[in-house]
Chains A and B, each alone.
Chain A
Amino acid sequence: MMMTKEKLIEIKEKVKPDMIEKLLKEDRVEYRGADLVLKGEYFKKQVRIALKNCDIIEPTNIEEYIALDGYHALYKCLVEKQPVDVVEEITNSLLRGRGGAGFPTGRKWAEAHKYPADKKYIICNADEGDPGAFMDRSILEKDPHSVLEGMAIGGYAIGSDQGYIYVRAEYPMAVKRLQIAIAQAKEYGLLGDNIFGTGFNFDIEIRLGSGAFVCGEGTALMESIEGRRGMPRPKIHRTAHKGLWGRPTIINNVETLANIPVIIERGYEWFRGIGTEKSPGTKVFALVGKIENAGLVEVPMGMTLREIVFDIGGGAQNGKEFKAVQTGGPSGGCIPADLIDTPVDFESLGKIWSIMGSGGMVVMDEDTCMVDIAKFFLEFSVEESCGKCVPCREGTKRMHEILDRITKGEGVEGDIERLLELAETVSGTSLCGLGQTAPNPVITTIKYYRHEYEAHIRDKKCPAKSCKALIQYFITDSCIGCTRCAKACPVSCISGKVKERHVIDQDMCIKCGACYDACPVKPIKAVTIN
């Protein structure tokens, strides 16, 4: 079927009233100005652009997307604007890539627009791999059409008729929703040949990742689509010049693309009115870890971490003390409690040695050992390093070995300096972003929590009481002799008579913590961790 503006309006007028009535009846939404937003305390401080339709529309029904002005932006571009105008609109909006690095989207598009070629490609990077991040998955599952529309607009702007969505195989629901959305868009004439009768053709194919984190890196992603090992290319050419199969290619993140239709609809001035001067708009964060209200939040750039973690997130879980928040996954840094008033935008986070990243925000409390966290992220990088360049392949491994030693109580003087020296080499000489940023978790934890490293190395103590090798379980005299700990102990190293104080044989203890979990004494357990 050929889609027209009249048909878009017809669908909107047919579907919207019932849809809104139903939503209002279910008491899930409310009006904020003319916009329909989700109801509840959690959403009050949020400004949702990329997530604007999530949990509001039925994602498997294209008509509900159209009812909330979906595909109107595509019409506007194709019929009323020249490709160069679209590029200019996005350039003027100062939209920056939401995948983490914050490169200006308009600059990418302008570059790809400028090179003539028989074929150009636009790729949606949906290989969301940072542990603790699920922004892109939510958008793909709950509002897939916003991504398709963003891609079609990008395709028109740069002169491409073929899009690829590279999505993780670990996201089966997102893949399914995308397949449905693409089929529906084709049926309604919003993808395929001669869209809106303008002669513009655009098709989208889904390509699945296969469990390699490095494929989120643009050039590795293209290698993977082409059917090779997902190893990054040396950056001789810009992707916008010579990308997929040597043709001009744009790679945009899911969230970036979801912003595009809204910017076209409402104009770049509106967009720049939100957020900060250099980082306009909003950012979606996945607030997870030891936080009271875990979930997705979308806030204007420039909001402070305190507002996000405490006002929206409700602070650390179970009344524990908030210790740090980690942004940017394995490429990012740990931000300590005393920097909680830092505004969240690309520049401010860079200044305190972290990065915006794709939007994972992992909250840590007093029980989290910062050396162990650094080790965890390094382990991730070691495993996901593709092995192409030496500094990343060998350097991350050596750093991990040192951290492993420290958490086992075998750290020696000079380890901190060695870590920092290795960090400098790895970040300075690695081929791609994975290696260049892999040392960040180590650098920031040393910078802000050096005393914890020193406690591990010099005193053989873990201040957070988390590193197994450095703690001891001990039963105090408040023990009531209930025998539950002895029954729970998997190695039977707790002895004691009923109604008498029990004792742990420290030589046999494997520090599993089962006794601690089993101890019923209140308010302070008789089993303590030293």
Chain B
Amino acid sequence: MEFKFDQKKFSDEITSFKKMLIDKKDSPGPLMPALQQAQELFGYLPKEILGLISKELSIPLAEIYGVATFYSQFSFIPKGENRVSVCLGTACYVKGSQTLLEELEVQLNIKSGSTSLDQKFSLDSARCVGDCSIAPIVIVNDDVYAKVKKNEIAGILAKYK
């Protein structure tokens, strides 16, 4: 399955991104901020953008690829319109967040770490988000759902459909 990068749709972002690359070129250690910016602007790291970074910062594509694959926040596939993540930190885990993740996989019909074909939802597990006193936690986009029970999952998803 191949997700296509729409260069036309993102033309403004690409221009401003290019400008940022030129600004950052001579500051120390520009690669990580560049990748983070790209991830933020485009939602993932399209091949075309990685090529642009390589050209502007004079860093071989292979090296960029090596760095980008190391960090879990970078993705090579687009995220869904609605990003669902379940905290699997210790506190949430002992309070049953694994079952919540499994329930979400069933209801969204996608595996954790992937995006639905219509790009409506993507599902991930998260490391501890630091809200352990209200465990277990499910996060959809910027909304945090506290002390979630399995039977509440369908209701939560319905809000975003």
Contact = CB atoms under 8 A, between A and B. Distances in A.
B93 interface: yes
A224 interface: yes
Nearest to A128: B130
Interface stretch (A225-233, A304-312, A416-424, A501-509): A225-233
Interface residues of B, number: 34
A207 B33 contact: yes
B128 A227 contact: no
Interface in B121-161: 126-133, 135, 150
Contact of B127 (A131, A224, A290, A517): A131
Contacts of B88: 131
A225 B150 CA distance: 40
A290 B94 contact: yes
Contacts of A204: none
B133 A211 contact: no
B93 A211 contact: no
B150 A514 contact: yes
- The contact size tier of chain A is 35 or more
Interface string A136-175: 0100000000000000000000000000000001110000
Given A230-B71, A290-B94, A512-B99, A210 B32 contact: yes
A190 interface: no
A211 B30 CA distance: 18
Nearest to A136: B130
Given A132-B91, A212-B72, A226-B29, A294 B35 contact: no
B73 A211 contact: yes
A130 interface: yes
Contacts of B20: none
A376 B33 contact: no
B94 A210 contact: no
Contact of B131 (A134, A360, A376): A134
A392 interface: no
A376 B128 CA distance: 13
Given A208-B32, A229-B70, A376-B90, A171 B130 contact: yes
A227 B67 contact: yes
A295 to B, nearest CB: 6
A482 to B, nearest CB: 17
Given A131-B90, A134-B130, A210 B71 contact: yes
A289 B94 CA distance: 7
A368 interface: yes
A354 B59 CA distance: 43
Contact of A294 (B32, B59, B130, B132): B132
Nearest to A129: B127
A228 B66 CA distance: 8
A245 B135 CA distance: 41
Given A210-B74, A213-B127, A360-B90, 17 more contacts: A131-B88, A131-B93, A132-B90, A133-B128, A134-B130, A170-B126, A170-B127, A210-B32, A231-B70, A245-B28, A286-B132, A288-B133, A294-B132, A295-B133, A329-B90, A376-B93, A514-B150
Closest 6 CB pairs between A and B? A227-B31, A134-B130, A210-B71, A294-B133, A288-B132, A211-B72
